[in-house]
């Protein structure tokens, strides 16, 4: 009996600076209901799904900056989402800005959680790869200050039992780094869920920026194929406070094939029936890690190639 998981990516259009948490949560609930109506057991929301992508601005005032973070999860703003999920019997991935006080020190992370069909948090992830810069760059139309507003994640890349399989999480820039998928691939992940906020023009090099959407799918399709896993990539997209961000949310099979893709830059639900056993054939043949992978022959993975011992 194949382990079929009907999953959704709930792509979000722009969240304006003036939109409240309640406004954002109402949009998420509407898409959750649509996903449920299509038979979904899981809906993957996006990165920073409760607020506008605030790292595009230099924010001097600490209280203003803090206003973009959640101090508890669930909290009064997000409890309606948890309640609806439990009522519908559907689980979800949610990305948000997390603020915790540890030993009297404010710690800030770009975070995602995995919530099961009973409304319980069964997994938590904090974004490891933070793109952009820590200091504002005056020449940029929009900043990308994730290195200023978040710390690198301290939870690693975990894989969690849920939805009948092995579920993993990542966030946005993580999808560009093969290590993200491989660390989970070595834990037999069967579905990697990730949200992304990807502004066009991020690099400032026309040749690269014109390939933003291509590199988006390239990264996720490669990660899926090379680790024999499903990948669900959910965008926040459209023109958000003047910053144009790419959409094309996707559900990708372990073959690397795109099986569903969003066609708007607004709130849009895409779904697929995901056979969680599909990766097994790849793991027993092309990507049989035990049979073909040779880490003991890779040499030292170091920053300084000269440190690799002469063969
Ligand atoms: N955003 C972007 C991402 O990795 C980026 C940053 C855009 C990097 C385009 C390279 C090219 O998709 C976030 N939030 O990581």
Domain boundaries, the chain: 4-297
Give the pTM: 0.96
pLDDT tens for 101-120 read: 999 999 999 999 999 999 99
Residue nearest to atom 14 of ligand 1 (CA): 197
Question: Are the CB atoms for 232 and 10 separated by under 8 Å?
Answer: no
pLDDT (0 to 100) of residue 300 = 72
| Nearest atom of ligand 1 to the alpha carbon of 199 | 7
**Strand (E) or helix (H) holding 261:** strand 258-261
Least confident of 142-146, 268-272, 294-298: 294-298
Residue linked to tokens 């099979």: 253
Q: Hey, which of 172, 207, 218 would you mutate to test ligand 1's pocket, going by the most ligand atoms within 8 Å of its Cβ? A: 172
In 3D space, the residue among 124, 243, 220 whose CA is nearest the CA of residue 173 turns out to be 220
Cβ–ligand 1 contact at 198 (below 6 Å): yes
Cβ–ligand 1 contact at 212 (below 6 Å): yes
- Write out the catalytic residue numbers: 47, 127, 172
pLDDT (0 to 100) of residue 305 = 58
pLDDT (0 to 100) of residue 132 = 97
| The token pair that represents 293 in the structure block | 């992978």
Mean pLDDT of 261-279: 98
Query: What gap in Å lies between CA 150 and CA 44, rounded to an integer?
Result: 22
Cβ–ligand 1 contact at 196 (below 6 Å): yes
Q: What percent of the chain has pLDDT over 90?
A: 95
Question: Are the CB atoms for 98 and 69 separated by under 8 Å?
Answer: yes
Cβ–ligand 1 contact at 131 (below 6 Å): yes
Residue nearest to atom 4 of ligand 1 (CA): 173
Cα(8) to centroid(ligand 1), Å: 22
| Nearest atom of ligand 1 to the alpha carbon of 197 | 14
CATH of domain 4-297: 3.60.110.10
Mean pLDDT of 269-296: 97
DSSP secondary structure of 46-87: -TTTTS--GGGS----HHHHHTTSBSSSS-TTTHHHHHHHHH
* Phi-psi category of residue 103: left, alpha or beta, with phi > 0 → left and psi -120 to 50 → alpha: left
Cβ–ligand 1 contact at 172 (below 6 Å): yes
Is the pLDDT assigned to residue 8 strictly greater than 80?
yes
Going by pLDDT thresholds of 50, 70 and 90, the confidence category of residue 311 is low
The residues near 144 (Cβ < 8 Å, ≥ 6 apart) are: 55, 56, 131, 132, 133, 199, 202
């Amino acid at each position: 009996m194949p382990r079929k998981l009907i999953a959704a990516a709930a792509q979000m259009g722009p969240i304006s600076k003036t939109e409240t948490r309640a406004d954002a949560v109402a949009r998420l609930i509407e898409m959750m209901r649509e996903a449920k109506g299509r038979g979904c057991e899981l809906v993957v929301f996006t990165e920073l799904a409760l607020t506008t992508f605030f790292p595009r601005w230099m924010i001097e005032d600490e209280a203003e900056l803090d206003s973009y973070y959640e101090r508890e999860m669930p909290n009064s703003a997000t409890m309606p989402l948890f309640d609806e999920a439990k009522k519908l019997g559907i689980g979800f991935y949610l990305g948000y800005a997390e603020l915790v006080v540890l030993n009297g020190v404010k710690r800030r992370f770009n975070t995602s959680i995995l919530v099961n069909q009973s409304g319980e948090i069964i997994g938590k992830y904090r974004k490891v790869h933070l793109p952009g810069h820590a200091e504002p760059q005056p020449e940029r139309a929009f900043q990308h200050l994730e290195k200023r507003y978040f710390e690198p994640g301290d939870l690693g890349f975990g894989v969690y039992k849920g939805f009948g399989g092995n579920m993993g999480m990542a966030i946005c820039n993580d999808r560009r780094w093969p290590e993200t998928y491989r660390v989970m691939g070595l834990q037999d992940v069967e579905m990697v869920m990730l949200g992304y906020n990807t502004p066009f023009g991020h690099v400032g090099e026309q040749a690269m920026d014109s390939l933003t959407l291509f590199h988006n799918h390239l990264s996720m399709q490669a990660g899926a194929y090379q680790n024999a896993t499903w990948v669900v990539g959910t965008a926040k997209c459209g023109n958000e406070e003047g910053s144009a961000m790419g959409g094309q949310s996707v559900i990708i099979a372990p073959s690397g094939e795109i099986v569903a893709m969003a066609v708007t830059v607004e709130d849009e639900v895409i779904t697929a029936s995901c056979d969680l056993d599909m990766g097994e054939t790849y793991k027993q043949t092309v990507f049989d890690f035990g049979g073909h992978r040779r880490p003991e022959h890779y040499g030292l993975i170091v920053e300084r190639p000269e440190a690799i011992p002469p063969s």
